[in-house]
A and B are shown apart, each in its own frame.
Chain A
Amino acid sequence: MNDSFADIIRDGLWRRNVGLVQLLGLCPLLAVSTSFIYGLGLGLATTAVLLGSNIAVSSIRRIVPREIRIPAFVMIIASLVTAVELLTNAYLHELYRILGIFIPLIVTNCAIIGRAEAFASRNGIVPSALDGLMTGLGFTLALVLLGSLREIVGSGTLFANADLLFGPWAAVLELTLIPAYGGFVLALLPPGAFFGLGLLIALKNVIERRAAERVRPAMPVAVEP
């Protein structure tokens, strides 16, 4: 059992990362990743929906007949997304204003119905919850990496607007990495999102190849992540 939990974690965060490997949910990934905090905000909102939908789908998997499972999943996901939207509006109002349309658009993220169909509808509640959490965190990781990259290159800062997510005290977190930087607008525009995502995917491939080369000469035993 331990082994498969480790697999779920590794798949969600790295091996089958929805943002960097499966390339699902590209629309929010590319549109919102202009800064670290926006990426983190949308990533956490998506994680909350994934966790909730995986738990809900897994707990009804035995009573829903095959023919109606998709409409049932859609209904669950839509309700959850709307609930998350209302909660963000109430408790993270400023962030809600910035993320705007992308919170309701979480509903169109294929990663969510994908995990419901491919994993939660076939597995128990605990592994499904773990899968939802890890897939969501993997997506958040991709958003945060791309967001940091674009924020540093585009505006020369990091963690700007942290107070939107963590409250007023967090305003001190903002780092000006490149003082008196005019900004490189391309990084903040949509093409910058594609360049950044391409670079991140390439980087991930390089890391994996290096890891594979290091492992090959050794005995083919369990590979630590």
Chain B
Amino acid sequence: MDAVSRAAWKRAFAGAALLALFAVIGAGTLALTEWLTRERIAARERVYTLETLNAVLAAARYDNDLMKDLITVREPELLGTPAPVPIYRARRNGRPVAAILLPVAPDGYSGPIRLMVGINVDGSVSGVRVTAHRETPGLGDGIEIGKSDWIRQFTDRSVSDVDEWAVARDGGEFDQLSGATVTSRAVVEAVRDALLYFDSHREQIFAAPTEPSPP
């Protein structure tokens, strides 16, 4: 090997070694940050999930550890997604009080709308919240609790007559958000389907053994 190519090899190796060193330093910094923030992030996530769960079901109504009493089901037809849907089960003194389903309204105006639906054991709604959506700001985003009270109209209702469960424009009993009929229709139908699913699977939902860890 002549001197020129030896020098070139040397440069290349020095460069590679230096890059590897930077990679190690970068990875070390990240590992350290991750280690320092891991517990805090997990705690904040838990608080956030519990706060949303308690928004659809008052914390005073159950006494079990909601976050641990969890099953998942697959029901693409009624729950709007082929993915497993989590169901939290609320109990008081060991008796079922309510279940909280996380269905998806697949046909929102700009993609799927993720919901959290609390259903009392008698089949009535204890509360509904939207957890994620991409609806139009100023129109469809009225489904968010921070933007309007629209989502509260489901509370205490149950499916006695399926035909009532539509927006007013389609002859049903639910107001639509003005300028966002598609969005409103998607949410009303998703809540209705979640109730129908609950009605036909009530026993299985509360009897199923708890799954070891959340999805």
Report which A residues bind B (CB closer than 8 A): 34, 60, 63-65, 67-68, 71-72, 75-76, 78-79, 82-83, 86-87, 89-91, 93, 97, 154-155, 183, 185, 188-189
Interface string of B17-32 (1 = CB under 8 A from A): 0110011001101100
From DSSP, what is the main secondary structure of chain B's interface residues? helix
B139 contacts which chain A residues (CB < 8 A)? 185
Please pick, from B23, B33, B40, B138, the residue contacting A154 in the complex, using a CB distance under 8 A.
B138
CB of B136 within 8 Å of the partner chain: yes
CB of B172 within 8 Å of the partner chain: no
Query: How far does the Cβ of A165 sit from chain B's closest Cβ, in whole Å?
Result: 15
Query: How far does the Cβ of A189 sit from chain B's closest Cβ, in whole Å?
Result: 7
Q: Taking A183-B138, A188-B138 as contacts, is the C-beta distance between A68 and B19 under 8 angstroms? A: yes
Given contacts A68-B19, A75-B26, A185-B137, 18 further A-B contacts (CB under 8 A): A60-B22, A64-B18, A65-B11, A65-B15, A65-B18, A68-B15, A72-B22, A75-B22, A78-B26, A82-B30, A83-B29, A83-B33, A86-B33, A87-B37, A90-B40, A93-B44, A154-B138, A189-B138
Query: How far does the Cβ of A126 sit from chain B's closest Cβ, in whole Å?
Result: 22
CB of B145 within 8 Å of the partner chain: no
24 contacts between A and B (CB under 8 A): A64-B18, A67-B15, A68-B15, A68-B18, A75-B23, A76-B26, A82-B30, A83-B30, A86-B30, A86-B33, A86-B34, A86-B37, A89-B44, A90-B44, A93-B44, A93-B48, A97-B48, A154-B137, A154-B138, A183-B138, A185-B136, A185-B138, A188-B138, A189-B137
A34 contacts which chain B residues (CB < 8 A)? 137
Report which B residues bind A (CB closer than 8 A): 11, 14-15, 18-19, 22-23, 26-27, 29-30, 33-34, 37, 40-41, 44, 48, 136-139
Report the bound CA distance from A12 to B44 in whole Å.
36
Report the bound CA distance from A83 to B26 in whole Å.
10
A76 contacts which chain B residues (CB < 8 A)? 22, 26
A83 contacts which chain B residues (CB < 8 A)? 29-30, 33
From A65, which residue of chain B is reached at the shortest CB distance?
A: B15
Report the bound CA distance from A63 to B15 in whole Å.
10
A185 contacts which chain B residues (CB < 8 A)? 136-139
Asked if residues B136 and A71 are in contact (CB atoms below 8 Å), the reply is no
Report the bound CA distance from A91 to B36 in whole Å.
11
Report the bound CA distance from A88 to B34 in whole Å.
12
Report the bound CA distance from A86 to B34 in whole Å.
7
Query: How far does the Cβ of B146 sit from chain A's closest Cβ, in whole Å?
Result: 9
Query: How far does the Cβ of A160 sit from chain B's closest Cβ, in whole Å?
Result: 10
A89 contacts which chain B residues (CB < 8 A)? 37, 41, 44
Query: How far does the Cβ of B149 sit from chain A's closest Cβ, in whole Å?
Result: 16
Report the bound CA distance from A86 to B42 in whole Å.
11
* CB-based closest 7 A-B pairs: A185-B138, A79-B26, A90-B37, A90-B40, A93-B44, A188-B137, A83-B33
Query: How far does the Cβ of A45 sit from chain B's closest Cβ, in whole Å?
Result: 14
